[in-house]
A and B are shown apart, each in its own frame.
Chain A
């Protein structure tokens, strides 16, 4: 049986990869993809804790899985909005590189 800590380490690795992507990429589309990776890392963590610590402490039985469902819902909404914003950005500035969108930069 795989211990809880290995799932947590997997989630830490995915989160760090996503964080690197958010900071290092220039294209807004790739930044959205990296955010999806980070959200998935959080979901792995929640679901692993839910299924390994079920009934212990203050955990109700399905709380972790249900929070993960809500995270997936918010992720879907976020991707839809991100697509709209990226389209608008591309139409106005003909670029999706976030470092060229510097109208409000001092």
Chain B
């Protein structure tokens, strides 16, 4: 059963990813990205990471896709329905395939005998987050604050502009 779900989710996420990098329409690319991200949330569920699946659906599916669609909407380029790629795309494909050729053998050769996937409770995650990882947690809140203020300052129009 886990295998069946894994294969479906892997096909969905890789297919969505290929859609993102191959389609000619920016809005379609954003929707393909949504498919891929939701499939990845399913993969987290197979791995018993319920909290991460929830976060993935809320933040990626809810927030990040909306922000990307906003970016598409606010920068309405005339060539969005039929965008073109760089001239160097064959080189990019070769480089990407070369990286795949390095990654796959290294994962297969160095495969470790893992234990069975286990359940991780919400309580344990929360406890760990606010004890061992308390300092990174506070720094993350600072990072978000700085990023938001920076985004507002970059995006607002200056005194000389309309």
Contacts and interface: CB of A to CB of B under 8 A. Distances in A.
A16 B97 contact: yes
Interface string B68-82: 101110110100100
A29 B2 CA distance: 35
Interface in A50-68: 50-56, 60-63, 65-66, 68
Contact of B112 (A4, A14, A62): A4
A87 B77 CA distance: 12
Contacts of A96: 75, 77
Given A4-B114, A16-B97, A81-B151, A23 B86 contact: yes
B129 A12 contact: no
B128 A44 contact: no
A19 B6 CA distance: 23
A7 B86 CA distance: 31
Chain B contact patch, size range = 35 or more
Interface string B123-144: 0110011001100100010011
Interface string A12-37: 11111111110111110110111011
B155 A37 contact: no
Interface of A: 1-10, 12-21, 23-27, 29-30, 32-34, 36-37, 40, 43-44, 47-56, 60-63, 65-66, 68-70, 72-88, 90-91, 95-97, 99
Interface in B104-162: 104, 107-108, 111-112, 114-118, 120, 124-125, 128-129, 132-133, 136, 140, 143-144, 147-148, 150-152, 154-155, 157, 161
Nearest to A69: B55
A12 B17 contact: no
A70 B83 CA distance: 33
B8 interface: no
Given A12-B100, A17-B96, A53 B68 contact: no
A53 to B, nearest CB: 5
A16 B100 contact: yes
Contacts of B55: 69, 72
